[in-house]
Amino acid sequence: MTTEDYLTQLQQDKADLVSNLTTQGITGLTGDETFTELVPEVLNIEGGGGGTVIQYVVAGYIEKAILASDWEATGYIQFTLTTENYDFDTDKIQIGLPPSSSTANTLNVVESGLSIALTNSSTNSSTNVTTYTFRIGALNVPVNDIDILIFGITEK
């Protein structure tokens, strides 16, 4: 898949998100919004059972800088992250771009073909602190430093 294919897919994903939000009753969307502007609109969707609002920590992401020298020869990095009163939803962990991502960073991330997996977690029940171990793989190891966001964190 080429960079142009990835960018086309991102545009389609954004259009799908706008369509889905509109279907769920969110009004005033033009399609010119960024992903960063659209994601908070998820909080405005009313769910079933009496109009309760879906609870999801939209700002729940971790910013991660990855140096070009961090990558293992096998094309992955592994790192740990410690949180207090937050969990990662293993079905919703994904990589995104910071709102301020430069064109060069965006292209480096897209061309890398990154994937993420939660490989281990342990919780200290007396302090409610959880340590997570993540593994990020790259189809094409980035030759430059990159900045990403890791989504999927929710309040305990």
**How confident is the model at residue 49, as a pLDDT?**
37
**How confident is the model at residue 42, as a pLDDT?**
63
Which residue type does 14 have? Answer: K
Q: How does residue 146 score in pLDDT terms, banded at 50, 70 and 90?
A: very high
- pLDDT per residue as tens digits for the range 49-105: 333 333 333 446 778 888 888 888 788 888 887 877 777 877 778 888 888 888 888
| DSSP letter string, 41-106 | GGGG-B-HHHHPBP---TT-EEEEEE-GGG--TTSEEEEEEEEESEEE-TTT-EEE--TT--HHHH
Residue 140's CB is within 10 A of a number of other CB atoms, namely 11
- pLDDT per residue as tens digits for the range 109-140: 888 888 888 888 888 888 878 888 888 998 88
CB 66, CB 148: distance < 8 Å: yes
Q: In whole angstroms, what is the distance from residue 93 CA to residue 85 CA?
A: 17
What phi and psi values does residue 132 have, to the nearest 5 degrees? -115, 145
pTM over 0.85: no
CA dihedral 142, 145, 151, 155 (to 10 degrees): 140
- pLDDT per residue as tens digits for the range 8-61: 777 777 787 788 778 777 888 888 887 667 766 765 655 433 333 333 334 467
DSSP 3-state of 70 = helix
**How confident is the model at residue 24, as a pLDDT?**
74
**How confident is the model at residue 64, as a pLDDT?**
84
